[in-house]
């Protein structure tokens, strides 16, 4: 799909993804925040493999199940004059800015729902079961969750009548911010404090991956930090500090989540409970992965 002066939309998105991923991976080597515990090569293989399966599922959906992806839905809504922005005669730049903001709010809402509804939590806990927190955690989502998320975004695009360029920009921003705020990088306090007035930073989002339920139930934003502040889900820091906190979920503090088969089959095993599997204020004593420096 050509909308960037002869360069396909897919090429633009992949170039942005690869560039940001490599930049975050390099920064993790240069200024790591925490030592990693699980074998990095095994985790990265699993998380990247899951992302590859996700991409394949979306392509198959577009070909055989739903003849639309979010960008194609935007083009269709424009041709059919469907959606809010196609009924308004507002400047294009304003529609693009508002579409990106509205879509970001909708993704915040989707994230909250994925923690509150048991059937969605079954899928989303694959993301939270990662026992370490780095750039590859940002792409660790179960394929079924990705498929449902794509359908959700298609509906949103049709409702808003978002322009195709706005959808592409939003996807690039969403993926880029997710990789940034999942990155295992140590930002100076002044920079983190300044950035999180607008954007979700690694120190802000890491709290969301805490083993403690009340911390997992906070900091849901991926792009803009304002939604957590507005809806009362903002938490500045983990109780035990970023070095002392435990990443992941109770009961899964072993190397099992680093396995591909284990991760893909997780939603189909055990009871489905909304939210963190720990119902208490503090996580129970669990067997923790032995922390060790791992480049």
The angle, 0 to 180 degrees and rounded to 10, between the axes of the packed helices 164-181 and 92-116 is 50
Q: Which residues are paired to 7 by β-bridges?
A: 4
- This prediction's pTM: 0.88
The helix/strand/coil state of 285 is: coil
| 215-252 residue pLDDT tens | 999 999 999 999 999 999 999 999 999 999 999 999 89
| 264-288 residue pLDDT tens | 999 998 755 555 554 444 443 333 4
> What residue has token string 């989540």?
257
Determine the Cα–Cα distance for residues 241 and 13; give it in Å rounded to an integer.
Answer: 35
Give the number of other CB atoms < 10 A from CB of residue 262. 17
Q: What are phi and psi of 4, to 5 degrees?
A: -130, 55
């Amino acid at each position: 799909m050509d909308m960037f002066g002869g360069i396909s939309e897919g090429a633009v998105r992949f170039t942005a993804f690869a560039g940001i991923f490599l930049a975050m991976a390099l920064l993790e080597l240069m200024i790591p925040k925490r030592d990693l515990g699980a074998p990095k090569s095994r985790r990265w293989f699993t998380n990247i493999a899951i992302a590859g399966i996700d991409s394949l599922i979306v392509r198959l959906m577009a070909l055989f199940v739903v003849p639309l992806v979010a960008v194609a839905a935007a083009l269709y809504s424009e041709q059919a004059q469907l959606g809010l922005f196609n009924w308004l005669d507002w400047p294009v730049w304003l529609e693009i800015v508002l579409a990106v903001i509205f879509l970001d709010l909708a993704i915040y809402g989707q994230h909250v729902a994925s923690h509150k509804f048991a059937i969605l939590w079954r899928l989303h806990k694959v993301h939270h079961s990662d026992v370490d927190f780095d750039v590859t955690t940002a792409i660790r989502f179960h394929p079924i969750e990705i498929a449902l998320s794509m359908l959700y975004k298609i509906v949103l695009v049709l409702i808003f009548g978002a322009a195709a360029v706005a959808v592409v920009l939003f996807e690039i921003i969403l993926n880029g911010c997710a990789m940034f705020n999942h990155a295992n990088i140590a930002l100076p306090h002044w920079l983190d404090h300044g950035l999180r007035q607008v954007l979700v930073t690694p120190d802000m989002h890491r709290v969301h991956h805490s083993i403690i339920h009340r911390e997992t139930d906070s900091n849901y934003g991926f792009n803009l930090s304002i939604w957590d502040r507005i809806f009362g889900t903002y938490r500045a820091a983990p109780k035990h500090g970023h070095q002392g906190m435990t990443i992941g979920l109770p009961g899964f503090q072993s190397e099992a989540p680093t396995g591909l088969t284990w991760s893909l089959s997780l939603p189909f095993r055990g009871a489905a409970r909304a939210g963190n599997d720990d119902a208490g204020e503090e996580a129970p004593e669990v067997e923790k992965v032995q922390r060790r420096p791992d480049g």
